[in-house]
Amino acid sequence: MSQAQEETKPRTPRAIDVLWRRALGETLREMRIARGERLDDTARRAGISPQYLSEMERGRKDPSSEMIGAVIGALESSLAEVLPRVADSLGSRSAPVIDIRSTVGVGTPNTTSMPGRNSPSEVTLSIAA
């Protein structure tokens, strides 16, 4: 695959990207509600549709820096104020982890005996959801 094809290939979002979008959206929603504003009011001042702002607040959009700046400006705030709040929100979250452990060995109680295996081995699989 050529470099141009790689650059145009859609990127699969990573878990941290999704967490970032949700944390940003929740922070923007909290700020809007604290000001007693409706979605329509903030969206109009930011120059975006209420639907787009709603999707930003729900973490469904991956907005450009210009869109983020427009919404933050409409909330009469600054990036320097918002980013620490988002970072704090991310720091207080932990991704759920599924930990599956299996011990296999010959003669070990409650284990499966595997041919050719004389010593216990541990297999660990962690999946961040």
pLDDT mean over 24-33: 97
Q: Token match 């210009």: residue?
A: 66
In this prediction, residue 114 carries a pLDDT of 46
In this prediction, residue 3 carries a pLDDT of 60
Residue 119, pLDDT above cutoff 80: no
Average model confidence (pLDDT) across the chain: 77
Residue 6, pLDDT above cutoff 80: no
More confident residue, 76 or 115: 76
Token pair belonging to 14: 């990573």
In this prediction, residue 49 carries a pLDDT of 97
Within the chain, how many helices (H) and strands (E) appear? 6, 2
Burial (0-12, 13-18, 19+ Cβ within 10 Å), 73: middle
pTM to 2 decimal places: 0.61
In tens, the pLDDT along 88-101 reads 888 866 555 455 55
User: CATH 3.40.109.10: does it fit domain 13-91?
Assistant: no
In tens, the pLDDT along 43-90 reads 999 999 999 999 999 999 999 999 999 999 999 999 999 999 999 888
Q: CATH 1.10.260.40 region(s) of the chain?
A: 13-91
